[in-house]
Amino acid sequence: MPNKLNLDSGETLKQGAKGAKVQQLQEILKALNLNPGTIDGDFGNNTIKAVKQFQNQQGLEADGVVGKNTQNALNNALGQVTTSSTLSTPIPTDQTKGFGGETGKLPLPAIPLIKEFEGCYLKAYPDPLSGNLPITIGWGTTKKRDGSNWKLGESITQQEADDLLMIQLENSYLPPLQKIPVWNELNANQQGALLSFAYNLGANFYGSSNFKSMTRVLTDKKWDEIEETFLKYRNPGSNVEAGLKRRRQAEAKLFLTPVS
């Protein structure tokens, strides 16, 4: 995990800046699951896009300039990620299979994977892709406990963020996945990879017209094609492709990792 950013009084980082502090900024942005481009100490177009995206998430002026307010927000977000990575993992109901949650059927290997790529923000922010709805908070949670929507300006604690993730996974994502014909034949790692995939792309992906390749591979149990199939779902040509590619690769790796 990178160290916190420490700018001198009145110092700013903006497009065209170069050096060690820019590289540190890029490392922080990457740790927050934003895409600053190559970690090279050069504040270029990808870095400014990542800074603006972060500023939007935090409710700051999205000017792409890292001054005191953005520095403080970056360091606070980095601290939340560091803290969350040290939180105790929920104890599986069945230690040998890696399942837990209230029902004992939630594939726990999905949790660290989802947290790694979602990042945690304790203040509600607009969806990065649409710039508007759905308003999101915590580990990419879009609904409150009562099912209502979040509003910009609302905030939660770290514990609430962790609890909301588990509740949403178990109540909104697990039931549709359990309808996949081969679901009960899959081990915890395989189910966990698909749960991460669903959390990112939608719980009802199986059988959907936009997911014919994944549906076919799961139906036919073509595990030799699973990695290339995951990689198809990365929004090619979009500004989120690089991040989605890393996530798809991680999901495929988890799916193909045997349960010891």
Catalytic sites, residue numbers: 118
Q: Break the chain down into helix, strand, coil percent, rounded to 5.
A: 50, 10, 45
User: Element (H or E) spanning 22, and its range?
Assistant: helix 20-31
206 contacts 215 by C-beta, under 8 angstroms? yes
Question: What SS3 class is residue 121?
Answer: strand
Residue 92 main-chain phi, psi, to 5 deg: -60, 145
Dist CA 207 CA 254 (whole Å): 22
Q: Are 106 and 94 in contact (CB under 8 A)?
A: no
> If you ran DSSP here, which 8-state letter would residue 155 be given?
B
Torsion of CA 99, 139, 223, 35, to 10 degrees: -150
